[in-house]
Amino acid sequence: MWGWLWGRRGPSGFGAASTAEEVTAGVDATSLTAIVTGATNGIGKETARVLALRGAQVIIPARTLESGLKVKESLAEQVPSAKLHVMEMDLSSLSSVRDFARSFDASHEHLNILVNNAGIMACPYQLSKDGVELQFATNHVGHFLLTNLLLDKMKSTARETGVQGRIINVSSIAHKRSDGTCFELNKLNDKARYQPFIAYAHSKLANILHANELSRRFQEEGCNLTANSLHPGVIFTNIIRYVAANRALVSVVSPVANLFLKSVPQGAATTCYLALHPSLKDVSGKYFADCNEATPTAVARDSELAKRLWSFSEELVEINDADRVTEHQNEAA
User: Which residues are catalytic, by number?
Assistant: 194
CA-CA distance, 52 to 146, in Å (whole number)?
22
Q: With both helix axes pointing from N to C terminus, report the angle between 196-221 and 142-161 in degrees, rounded to the nearest 10.
A: 30
Side by side, which strands form the sheet with 292-294? 83-88, 57-62, 33-36, 113-116, 165-170, 225-231, 287-289, 292-294
Secondary structure (DSSP) of 235-282: B-SGGGGTT---HHHHHHHHHHHHHHSBPHHHHTHHHHHHHH-GGGTT
Q: Are strands 165-170 and 57-62 parallel, antiparallel or unpaired?
A: unpaired
Angle (CA) 137-142-146 rounded to 5° is 170
Residue 89, number of CB atoms within 10 A of its CB? 26
Eight-class DSSP state of 19 = -
